[in-house]
Amino acid sequence: MFNRRNMLLWGAASVVLCGVCAGVPARADDAVKIGLILPMTGGQASTGKQIDNAIKLYMQQKGDTVAGKKIEIILKDDAAVPDNTKRLAQELIVNDKVNFIAGFGVTPAALAAAPLATQAKIPEVVMAAGTSIITERSPYIVRTSFTLAQSSTIIGDWAVKNGIKKVATLTSDYAPGNDALTFFKQHFTAGGGEIVEEVKVPLANPDFAPFLQRMKDSKPDAMFVFVPAGQGGNFMKQYAERGLDKSGIKVIGPGDVMDDDLLNNMGDAALGAVTAHLYSAAHPSQMNKDFVAAYKKAFGNRPGFMAVSGYDGIHLIYEALKKTNGATDGDKLIEAMKGMKWESPRGPISIDPETRDIVQNIYIRKVEKVDGELYNVEFATFEAVKDSGKTKK
């Protein structure tokens, strides 16, 4: 907080000084400004904090100068309210003259900023929101997080191949939940699986008991679950309380439910849950081990998939600037980003040149205890998964 304010004050002071001594309009040409819009308060705050942390970490490691230009981050809190996002994006573009807008904790926020990116012709780097349509809303949108279709289709394919025939689904009744359900169903039933029970729970759901009892009575091989990250813990506890773990009903789902950020607090109830996702803090590469160690040292907790998305997002911006030699023309930057490939803590990833969406490995993981802590341990990999949820190809 204080750092940010200090930074802004210093920024303002130096701008004034420059303006005075040079007598010219105060926009320094050797700085690249990134408007970072994240939910830093409210229910989605953990997303914002992870991304903000990861970007700070990246800039500590790689320095704050790229291709001779100084990188300046302007962080704004939209509390995941799209109206705020739009207003903040407008202020950043018009008043602060940012060269990038980035962040966006939830889908509506990313969509609200899309027309502004198009109009201003500046890149919008989406670091969290996960609905497929986002990158179709502006030719200036690039995504470094994931789409729900990526993980939901893969877990569907995996389930069919691994002897799971009957599945009951429990998903939260909102856009990402419905996305997850649709994509899972498509792939699971196409492979010959059967959905025996489908329950959509309200987003503000106080108690899972009745829904879980219904799941139990429908006797599936597994239940497919998607609830907002914060509710995952309650869900798993009640799942164990009701003895569903002992009755042989497995939990499968996209990995959001088993976010590294929360996993360790869920208790042993979470053990054995199988999810498909882009990142696990237990990913066995050396790069990830270094990343996790550095993140833990700097911020005291484990990075989750949101942190990695932020880390890759800022990396993408750095690399694009290197490629354009510091030129900040939006079209050139987007061209530079298309098709870019690199090794991330999550594994090899690239930006699809056609959709500007991320192409990445999706891992099947199982919750296990490693050194007394719960981790998602990866045991199967689906390589270079594209987003299959695009309406047009």
Partner 1 sequence: MASILTNLFDGVAYGMLLFVLACGLAVTLGLMNFVNLAHGAFAMAGGYICAVLVNNSGWPFFAALPLAFVGSAVIGIALERTLYRHLYSRSHLDQVLFSIGLVFMSVAAVDYIMGSSRVFIKLPAALEGQIDLFGVGIGRYRLMIVVICGLLTLALQLILAKTRFGSRLRAAVDDPRAAIGLGINVPQVFAFTFAFGCGLAGLGGALSAEILGLDPYFPLKFMIYFLIVVTVGGSSSITGPFLASLLLGIADVAGKYYVPKVGPFVIYTVMIVILLWRPNGLFGRTAAR
Closest CB to partner 1 among 35 and 233? 233
**From 210, 284, 339, 353, residue interacting with partner 1 (rule: CB under 8 A):** 210
Interface stretch with partner 1, choices 128-136, 150-158, 237-245, 349-357 (CB under 8 A)? 237-245
**Beta carbon of residue 128, minimum distance to partner 1 (angstroms, whole number):** 15
Interaction of residue 238 with partner 1, rule CB under 8 A? yes
The answer for residues whose C-beta is within 8 angstroms of residue 165's C-beta and 6 or more apart is 192, 193, 194, 221
Interaction of residue 241 with partner 1, rule CB under 8 A? yes
| Orientation of helix 330-337 relative to helix 305-323, angle to 10° | 120
Closest CB to partner 1 among 196 and 199? 199
Interaction of residue 243 with partner 1, rule CB under 8 A? yes
Can you tell me the distance from the alpha carbon of 226 to that of 148, in angstroms, rounded to the nearest whole number? 10
Can you tell me the distance from the alpha carbon of 310 to that of 125, in angstroms, rounded to the nearest whole number? 9
**Beta carbon of residue 210, minimum distance to partner 1 (angstroms, whole number):** 4
Can you tell me the distance from the alpha carbon of 194 to that of 185, in angstroms, rounded to the nearest whole number? 9
Are the C-beta atoms of 102 and 127 separated by less than 8 Å?
yes
**From 68, 163, 206, 372, residue interacting with partner 1 (rule: CB under 8 A):** 206
CA angle 148, 150, 155 (to 5 degrees): 95
Site string for partner 1, 43-82 (x = CB under 8 A): x-xx------------------------------------
**From 234, 285, 350, 388, residue interacting with partner 1 (rule: CB under 8 A):** 234
Burial group, residue 50, by CB count within 10 angstroms (0-12, 13-18, 19+): buried
Task: Extract the runs of DSSP E, i.e. beta strands, from the chain.
Answer: 31-38, 65-66, 69-77, 100-103, 124-126, 141-143, 166-172, 194-201, 222-226, 250-254, 274-277, 341-344, 347-351, 358-370, 373-385
Interface stretch with partner 1, choices 17-25, 130-138, 175-183, 208-216 (CB under 8 A)? 208-216
Closest CB to partner 1 among 299 and 384? 299
Can you tell me the distance from the alpha carbon of 393 to that of 387, in angstroms, rounded to the nearest whole number? 10
**Beta carbon of residue 197, minimum distance to partner 1 (angstroms, whole number):** 9
Interaction of residue 104 with partner 1, rule CB under 8 A? no
Interaction of residue 209 with partner 1, rule CB under 8 A? yes
**Beta carbon of residue 41, minimum distance to partner 1 (angstroms, whole number):** 7
Pairing of strands 274-277, 358-370: antiparallel
**Beta carbon of residue 117, minimum distance to partner 1 (angstroms, whole number):** 28
In what side-by-side order are the strands of the sheet with 124-126?
65-66, 69-77, 31-38, 100-103, 124-126, 141-143
Buried (b) or exposed (e) across 75-113, using 16+ Cβ within 10 A?
Answer: bbbbbbbbebbbebbeebbeebebbbbbbbbbbbbbbbb
Interface stretch with partner 1, choices 159-167, 240-248, 306-314, 382-390 (CB under 8 A)? 240-248
Q: Strand, helix or coil at 300? A: coil
Closest CB to partner 1 among 14 and 41? 41
Interaction of residue 272 with partner 1, rule CB under 8 A? no
Interaction of residue 298 with partner 1, rule CB under 8 A? no
Interface stretch with partner 1, choices 152-160, 183-191, 213-221, 367-375 (CB under 8 A)? 213-221
Pairing of strands 341-344, 347-351: antiparallel
Interaction of residue 255 with partner 1, rule CB under 8 A? no
Binding footprint of partner 1 on the chain (CB under 8 A): 41-43, 45-46, 199-202, 204-207, 209-211, 213-214, 217, 230-231, 233-234, 237-238, 240-243, 261-262, 265-267
